[in-house]
Amino acid sequence: MPSMPKPQSPSEKQRKEAEKAERLAEQLRANLRRRKAQSRNLKDSEAE
């Protein structure tokens, strides 16, 4: 096992990566909602 410079426990590392993944997922969901709303607006304006 290579010695790591930071004394971070594995669980701490997992928790940080989980938080990062959670933020990333939230951003993706927000992007998806925005895109869906935009495409809906486009379809509505085309229908008129």
Q: Flag whether pLDDT at 45 surpasses 70.
A: yes
Q: Computed from CA positions of residues 28, 34, 35, 36, in that sequence, does the dihedral angle turn out positive or negative?
A: positive
Which of the pair, 7 or 29, is modelled with greater confidence? 29
pLDDT in tens, 8-43: 688 999 999 999 999 999 999 999 999 999 988 887
pLDDT of res. 15:
94
The pLDDT confidence band at residue 4, using thresholds 50, 70 and 90, is low
pLDDT of res. 1:
56
pLDDT of res. 9:
81
Q: What is the CA radius of gyration of the chain?
A: 20
**Domain segments of the chain as ranges:** 19-48
